[in-house]
Amino acid sequence: MAKLYRFADFELDEARFELRRAGHAVAVQPKVLRMLLLLVAERERAVSTDELFGTLWPGERVGMASIRRAVIGVRRALDEPGDSQHSVRTVRGFGYQFVQPVRVATPPASSAASPSLSPWAADLTALGLAETLPLYGRAADRVREETLRSWQHVDARSAPGSEARPAAP
């Protein structure tokens, strides 16, 4: 069952895939929100960078810069200045840990989203576009997968050790 996490003046609603502050939705990129959900759910321990890569970027070739950008996004969403570690502590050489005190509740049934939301549907829901879900359905999932594959191809070409290729005319 989805959980509702409360810390400071924030609510992190797993079912609605939403972060709220003082009852108002906070605009957060889906990947940043997924990282925050993982860190809060696993707050009793530090989450390794390997686990972050495997959970947030499965099968994708990304580097530490992607994790750092997501952590910066989490800290910004929580309105923390600069490299503040008030909520997300850096465990040097290992990963990150959420350190705020958290209260856990079960969200009201009316706020629960469909438990089988695909990543694309969750992204649309997080952007407030849930009403477009019937228009996109499985086709949107296929488009998302094709987009990810094409970006993986671009990443592979620009990976260290690969030769630079001239742009197509």
Q: What is the CATH number of domain 4-113?
A: 1.10.10.10
The whole-number pLDDT of residue 102 equals 96
pLDDT category at 93 given cuts 50, 70, 90 is very high
Which tokens hold the place of 20? Answer: 């709220």
Euclidean distance between CA atoms 119 and 105, whole angstroms: 24
pLDDT tens digit sequence for 131-158: 555 544 555 555 556 665 665 554 455 5
Average pLDDT, integer, range 108-130: 57
Q: What's the chain's average pLDDT? A: 79
* Exposure on the CB side of residue 74, measured as CA atoms within 13 A: 29
36-63: per-residue pLDDT in tens? 999 999 999 999 999 999 999 998 889 9
pTM of whole model > 0.85? no
